[in-house]
Amino acid sequence: MTLNNLTLPGSSTSASVLESPALWPAQAHLPTVSGRQLVVERGAGSWLYTQDGRKLFDGTAGLWHANVGHGNTELAQAAYEQMLQLETYHIFARYSNDKALALGEKLAELSPIDRAKIILNSGGSDAIDVACKLARRHWQREGRDSKKVILSREFAYHGLHAYGTSIAGLEFNREGYGTESLVPETARVSFNDPAQVEQMVNRIGAENIAALVTEAVQGTGGVNPPAPGYLEAIARICRENDILLILDEVITGFGRMGTMFAAEYYGMEPDMITFAKGVTSGYAPLGGVMVAPHLWEPFYLDSRDTPIFRHGATYAGHATASAVALKHLEILERDQLVPRVAQLESTLRTELDALAGRSEAVTEVRSAGLLGGVCLHESLSAEQVCDDLVELGFIGRPLRGNTIQISPPFIVTDGELSTFINAIGEAINARSGK
C-alpha cells in the first residue's frame, strides 16, 4: 500500500456540477462530490467493487448495516422465493400477510422488552417518527395533555424525517427550515452530564415532557459510548418524572454490540426500542418499533371506545422485506455471529489502543462492541484521511468531531480488521508528514 504521488481532485466547476447525473446525492455538498463519486456495482463478503475497477474493504458496513456482508446468496434466495409467492400485501385493518406476522413473533421473542408488540415500517427514520408520535399519543390518551416535549441529546442523530430533523443534536441537520424545530416541542440535553439533564427536566417541567430519545452509543455523532453511569442516570430521571424512554437501536440492534441489543449490553429497560438497518443486514428496507405493554394495552381493549393509534404506511410489514429479515435472523443465530462480535470487540479495542499509542495525530479512540471511532488532531481532516484510505483500498467515513468511523461487517476476520486499522494509521501518517 502506498500514497506516493496521490493527488485528489478539487471541487468541480459550476458547469460540471450542473451537468452532473440526475440522481441527487444524499447528505452531500454537491460541488465537492460532483465528479468524484465512487460507483459501487458489486459486493462480496466484506469487500466492494466499483465501476472504475477498485476493490475496497467496507470498513463501515455501508451505513452501519451490512452485518453479514455483501452478496449473501441465502438472503437473495429468500427474497426471490417470497416474490414468486407474494411480493407483499398491506397490513391495514383486517388484512395482514404471513411473513409480517411471523417476523412480528420472532422480534417479540428477541426483544429485551417483555411482551412487546411490534410496529413495522420501512426504516429508522420512519421508526423514530412513529415512536415520538406514540409517546405523545400515549400521554394525550392518559389525559395529561401538557406532556408533549421530546428530549434528545447533543450530537444525536435520529434520521431525517420531520421528527428526526427536529430532535437532531447535530445542529447542521436542523438548520435552514425557517424555524428552530420543525416539530416545535423539542429540546436537547447534555450527551454525557446527567446533572444537566436533570436541570433541563426541571426547567421545562416534567409535566410537559413526553419522552427522551437516546442512542445507547451515538453513531453519526462521533461513535460516543455513554459516560459511566449516564444511561443509568437518565433512566432514573425518566422513571421518576413519568417520561418515556425511547432507545434508538437502529445502529446497535441485532448484534453490533456483541449482544442482540444494546439494551442488554447496558442493562436498560426502555419503553420503546426503534430498530432498522441490522434487522435485514440492509438487504431490504425495513424498520420498526418495539413497544412495552403499558403503552400498547390501552389500544387493545375489547371495547368500541378503544382508541386507534393512526400509524402505518404502504410498505409497513412488506412481505418480501419480512422474509429477508427472518432469514437474516436465522443466519445470525446459526452462524453464531453475535458471539463473534463479542470476540471482535476486544480485538478492535486492542488495535485502536495500539494505533493511538503510535500516532500523535490521534487524539482519542473510542469503541463499544464492533463500533469504533478514531478522533484526529485538528491539524488533520478526517474527510481527507478517508479519501486517502480509498486510495489504499479501504472505506472509512468522516463523522462529527473529526472522527473516522469503524464498523465493519460481523464476518470480518481478525486479519482484515487489523489491516484496516493499520491502513488508517498509514493514511494519518502520510497526511501528517510522518
In a domain, 32, yes or no: no
User: What is the per-residue pLDDT for 432?
Assistant: 87
Q: Is residue 98 part of a domain?
A: yes
304 and 156 co-located in one domain: yes
pLDDT at residue 11 above 90?
A: no
Residue 344 shares a structural domain with residue 330: no
Looking at the structure, tell me whether residues 327 and 352 fall in a common domain: no
Report pLDDT digits (tens) over 220-279: 999 999 999 999 999 999 999 999 999 999 999 999 999 999 999 999 999 999 999 999
pLDDT at 17: 84
296/350 same-domain check: no
Burial class (CB in 10 A: 0-12, 13-18, 19+), 7: exposed
Q: What pLDDT, on the 0 to 100 scale, is given for residue 8? A: 42
The last residue of one of the domains, among 334, 363, 390, is 334
pLDDT at 388 over 50: yes
Same-domain status, 261 and 369: no
For 157-181, what is the mean pLDDT?
Answer: 96
CATH code assigned at 350: 3.90.1150.10
Q: What is the reported pLDDT for 105?
A: 98
* pLDDT digit string, tens, across residues 20-30: 899 999 999 99
Domain membership of residue 391 (yes or no) is yes
- Rounded average pLDDT over 185-208: 98
Can you give the pLDDT at residue 12? 46
Residue 170 lies in a domain: yes
The answer to the question of residue 15 being in a domain is no
Which tens digits make up the pLDDT trace of 71-102?
Answer: 999 999 999 999 999 999 999 999 999 999 99
What is the per-residue pLDDT for 433? 80
- pLDDT confidence band for 18 (50 / 70 / 90): confident
Q: How far apart are CA 346 and CA 368, in angstroms?
A: 9
Q: 22 in a domain, yes or no?
A: no
Q: What is the pLDDT of residue 318?
A: 98
Do 399 and 284 fall into the same domain? Answer: no
User: CATH no. for residue 255?
Assistant: 3.40.640.10
Q: Is the pLDDT of residue 13 over 70?
A: no
The backbone torsions φ and ψ at residue 219, rounded to the nearest 5 degrees and listed phi first, read -95, -80
Evaluate if residue 35 carries a pLDDT over 70. yes
Looking at the predicted structure, is the pLDDT value of residue 5 above 90? no
pLDDT above 90 covers a percentage of the chain that reads 93
Segment 212-223 shows an average pLDDT of 98
Of the residues 285, 305, 334, which one is the last residue of a structural domain? 334
Same domain, 323 and 363: no
Q: What is the DSSP string of 121-162?
A: ESSHHHHHHHHHHHHHHHHHHTT-TT--EEEEETT----SSH
Distance CA 360, CA 338 (A): 34
276 and 136, same structural domain?
yes
pLDDT attached to residue 20: 86
| Confidence check: pLDDT of 16 > 80 | no
pLDDT in tens, 391-418: 999 999 999 999 999 999 999 999 999 9
175 pLDDT higher than 90: yes
Identify the domain boundary among 308, 334, 360: 334
Please check whether residues 130 and 277 belong to one and the same domain.
yes
| Segment 313-342 mean pLDDT | 98
In a domain, 20, yes or no: no
| Gyration radius of the chain over CA positions | 22
Split at pLDDT 50, 70, 90, the class of 15 is low
- One domain, residues 64 and 89: no
> Is the confidence at residue 9, as pLDDT, over 70?
no
Q: Print the domain residue range for 426.
A: 39-68+336-432
Whether residue 422 sits in one domain with residue 284: no
* Strand-strand pairing, 287-291 and 117-121: antiparallel
Q: Are residues 374 and 408 in the same domain?
A: yes
Domain count, the chain: 2
331-335: long-range pairs with CB below 8 Å, 24+? 331/68, 331/72, 331/74, 331/75, 332/67, 332/68, 332/254, 332/255, 332/410, 335/68
Global pTM value? 0.95
Does 214 map to a domain? yes
